[in-house]
Chains A and B, each alone.
Chain A
Amino acid sequence: GAVVSQHPSRVICKSGTSVKIECRSLDFQATTMFWYRQFPKQSLMLMATSNEGSKATYEQGVEKDKFLINHASLTLSTLTVTSAHPEDSSFYICSARDAPPGAANYGYTFGSGTRLTVV
């Protein structure tokens, strides 16, 4: 089945520094990827949708300049948290739509998540 690899699984960084999280589709091409944020005991909150070769679409309230998303290839999307602060500490999860555009049926495969702690 479709596999999405997300790295790192855990990262601790100092306040004011930037952190990059990678999301790779290992056995399929993902034209569309999604980035979520999840707080303890809460559901997934969509941050942005990234399409290969174009700018990401951010959800209302998500700061574009703080959460930089790049989807330069069909198998890789990255999320960079710039000038991180303790309030950015959270669990970040990526997912990929695992079917070509126009396919009637498809699934969404999720990465294993990244626990970001800003100290």
Chain B
Amino acid sequence: QKEVEQNSGPLSVPEGAIASLNCTYSDRGSQSFFWYRQYSGKSPELIMSIYSNGDKEDGRFTAQLNKASQYVSLLIRDSQPSDSATYLCAVNGDDKIIFGKGTRLHILP
């Protein structure tokens, strides 16, 4: 059974600080990695996708992938109250993506 593990939180971060979200996955053969943001009662919204080891930056977001350690992370710089949401780590499986339970992030004004 392929698994994606995340700390459920909540993770509380002061406004303007860096939020760091982490995820591990069990299938060493996984090739595609995603971070989705989900506001309460809404659908998952793609933040970042990453396919290669290293860092990928997009605005205030940086995704980091370490396939040897089976570890994916998301950094959010200059955190804003609007970043308060649940962040879902997802990894490809066979013809599907597998989600973690998500980490609740709370940005403190």
Is A bound to B?
Answer: no
